[in-house]
Amino acid sequence: MHVIKTESLTRTFGNFAAVDSLTLTVEEGEIFGLVGPDGAGKTTTMRLLTSILEPTSGGAWVAGHHVVKEAEAVKEEIGYMSQRFGLYPDLTVMENIEFYADIYGVPKKLRPERIERLLAFSNMTPFKNRQAGRLSGGMKQKLGLACALIHTPKVLFLDEPTNGVDPVSRRDFWRILYQLLRDKVTIFVSTAYLDEAERSSRIGLIHKGRLLAAGTPGEVKKLMRGSILEIRSTEPRKAVALLQTRSAGAASLFGDRIHLVTREPEKDAEEAERALTAAGLAVKGIRAIEPALEDVFVSVLAGEGKEAA
């Protein structure tokens, strides 16, 4: 069952297309990750699907309701956590949750059990009397999630929920999302972290408002144009700059290592080592590796650029 469906969904601001002919579907009980850099159109897509913005053209349906013609029905079925979720720093954890329960019209008799369950599964019970302004970044995100879930939505929209959150809190946050799948909650999450996107059931790569690819992480990785050589050098920044000018493949820096896209691994490994050594840059190792989603994204963007040229 398609819980989210878009057909040529488009939103323009003047001559700028923030979302450009977006067509995708999301099934019940899955995590769909919309992945792309800042300015790719992720937040605008989220606002269109949550009936905050109206599309310029095209259509979208969430939980069987049209996002424009049945906007109020959509809002009753969803939970939405924006990048700057509206927590009240002077209120305690419990007071914030109670406030959102009032907004969503949750009956008083249902609240105690529901709040207790949300606090327990987010590990927030020990902090229920702490002011929200005194919580860590990760705990604020968990509180925001609890507030978005207080009315038991069918679809949960999360706009870059772990942006700026430490790695341990990111891991805990995703553990909570997996628990929600047991209740068949459909989760639509946007992120700029490609390593994090691999935890989604399916993903969509978006750039400049256009959907470049969609599928499971494994399916999307098959779009990789070529193989990946991982190169370790004593001076990786200088090495990647050199390879970007002299190599036929795309070279990118991943931490302290260089990923070089190649269609001829053995030949290009030899040429890369020769070029770096000649430039006085020591090579600590070169090996072929499995592509990461970031490699695929860079590869697909390179292909888009060549087609446009």
Please provide the average confidence, as pLDDT, over all residues in the chain. Answer: 89
CB-count exposure of residue 243 (10 Å: 0-12, 13-18, 19+): buried
pLDDT beyond 60 at 307: no
Q: Tens digits of per-residue pLDDT, 57-77?
A: 999 999 999 999 999 999 999
Q: Tens digits of per-residue pLDDT, 8-34?
A: 999 999 999 999 999 999 999 999 999
Please tell me which residue, 123 or 43, carries the higher pLDDT value. 43
* Structural domains of the chain ordered from first start: 2-215 (3.40.50.300), 227-290 (3.30.70.270)
Which of 196-200, 297-301, 303-307 has the highest average model confidence (pLDDT)? Answer: 196-200
131 DSSP 8-state letter: B
Q: Tens digits of per-residue pLDDT, 262-271?
A: 888 888 899 8
Count H helices and E strands in the chain, helices first.
Answer: 11, 14
**H-helix or E-strand containing 235?**
none
Give bridge partners of residue 165 from the DSSP assignment: none
Query: Which 3-state string (H, E, C) describes 46-86?
Result: HHHHCCCCCCCEEEEEECCEECCCCHHHHHHHEEEECCCCC
Q: Tens digits of per-residue pLDDT, 180-197?
A: 888 889 999 999 888 788
Q: Tens digits of per-residue pLDDT, 155-179?
A: 999 999 888 778 888 888 888 888 8
Q: Tens digits of per-residue pLDDT, 237-277?
A: 999 999 988 766 678 888 889 998 888 888 889 989 999 99
State the pLDDT at residue 222. 84
Mean pLDDT confidence for 275-284: 91
Q: Can you read off the two tokens belonging to residue 21? A: 């002919």
Q: Are 78 and 50 in contact (CB under 8 A)?
A: yes
